[in-house]
Amino acid sequence: MKPVLPPIVSADTVHDLLGGDRPPVVFDLREPYRYSQGHIPGALPLDPALFNRNTETARGLLPDADELNAQLRAHGVCADRPVIVYDEDGGPAAARAAWTLRAFGHEAAAMLDGGLIHYAARHRLARGKPPLNEDDGDFEGAWRRERIADRRHILARLGAPDLQLVDTRSAAEYGGRDRRAWRAGHIPGAVHLDWRLTKGADGRFLPEAALRALLAERGLDPNKETICYCQSHQRSSVVCLLLEALGFTRVKGYPGAWSDWGNQPDTPVAAED
């Protein structure tokens, strides 16, 4: 039976899983020198660029499926083992990796809430070189389109009563004052929710009650199709995982995001006056 894991896990959960009969594959997405200074025991270093593909006009697109499969298997990813990814503080790098793995069909992929900072405050770290990976994995991923939106899908659904768009960028980007593409602003009808508002001062997500109140303030309905985007679907991956963890049933991420939408000549754009 394939394991299932919530998209966001605590440091204590990771620690407990490491002591199980079938421990997770753990990926450290930080710079190599940081890995050598201290990492979760058994973690393997991995370049977060594996989970993105960039072109001249769009960033954060889906990676090539064949290459992703090959790299994941080479790093020991199996269909029956959980995968935990972490960065320094539970930010967009870890979220994008976990979101990509889940969109690729691995339902037991999760990001570490609060990142290594929180884990290190509660549990001992290992140091030195990564462990030898003696066995290849058997995972064979494929894109799950129910988790992924693209420009064509959004254009076809724009204005539908059961669609809600969530822009997770800064207020200046949303309002068009901070231009990071040929055109500035946001997708018409998108609700603004800066991803940073979901986090506490310690880098972990806010308590569930506070998060639900934050979402309710924005009028977000857990039963509607919900498409999250930012500039390149890094920050919005954080919100995708959070919404899924809170029971939203139709959550999609938009790879490419504003770097795709905002660099088109004819996509509709809204901005503050």
Kindly report the CATH number that applies to the domain delimited by 145-261.
3.40.250.10
CB neighbours (10 Å) of residue 46? 21
8 A C-beta contact, residue 72 and residue 45: no
Q: Is the pLDDT of residue 273 over 90?
A: no
Closest to 109 measured CA to CA, from 90, 83, 91, 87 = 83
For 133-192, the pLDDT digits (tens) are 767 899 999 999 999 999 999 999 999 999 999 999 999 999 999 999 999 999 999 999
Specify the pLDDT at position 131.
77
Question: Residue 126 pairs with which residues in a beta bridge?
Answer: 39
Catalytic residue among 78, 228, 230, 240: 230
Q: What is the average pLDDT value for the chain, to the nearest integer?
A: 95
List, for residues 78-110, the tens digit of each pLDDT value.
Answer: 999 999 999 999 999 999 999 999 999 999 999
Got the DSSP string for 38-71? -B-TT-EE--GGGG-B--SS--SBPPPHHHHHHH
Annotated catalytic residue 230: yes
Which two tokens mark 84?
């935990």
Question: Interhelix angle for 235-245 vs 92-103, to 10°?
Answer: 60
Q: 8-120 architecture in CATH? A: 3-Layer(aba) Sandwich (3.40)
Q: What is the structure's pLDDT at 138?
A: 94
Give the H/E segment covering residue 243: helix 235-245
β-strands 83-86, 109-112 pairing: parallel
With H, G, I as helix, E, B as strand and everything else as coil, classify residue 19.
coil
Domain ranges within the chain, ordered by starting residue: 8-120, 145-261
- Strand, helix or coil for residue 117: helix
Neighbours of 112 (CB within 10 A): 27
Question: Distance between CA atoms of 166 and 96, rounded to whole angstroms?
Answer: 16
Domains 8-120 and 145-261 share a fold: yes
Tens digit of pLDDT for each residue in 255-271? 999 999 999 999 999 98
What gap in Å lies between CA 80 and CA 65, rounded to an integer? 20
